[in-house]
Amino acid sequence: MALQVFEINDMEWWAGEGRPEDILKAYMECVGCDHEGATGDVEDYPTPLTDEQMDRMTFAIGEDGMRLATPITFRDYLAKMVARGD
């Protein structure tokens, strides 16, 4: 199974391997919320980003909460996470 980035909700994305249900479970355990609190709707599950989204969508805020001088694509950010061993 390949490492993917999943959209949890409009503001949260998680990288992982597994089914959407597995990603949601890990997110809820880490954040301490329920299904509706995570996705906004108990019917919704995380969806993996497409290749086009990975190349188009960017991070503008760094892990420290500060605006990045140069936004970075989700694909490039995922590569940085993997290189760091996250």
Q: Are 73 and 55 in contact (CB under 8 A)?
A: yes
**Two tokens at 21?**
């249900």
Q: Give the pLDDT confidence score for residue 68 in this predicted structure.
A: 87
Strand partners, 15: 5
Which residues are CB-neighbours of 18 under 8 A, at least 6 positions away?
Answer: 1
Q: Does this model's pTM top 0.95?
A: no
Residue tagged 């190349």 (tokens)? 55
Confidence of residue 61 (pLDDT cuts 50, 70, 90): confident
Task: Kindly tell me if the per-residue pLDDT of 40 is higher than 90.
Answer: yes
Sketch the domain layout of the chain as residue ranges: 1-48, 51-86
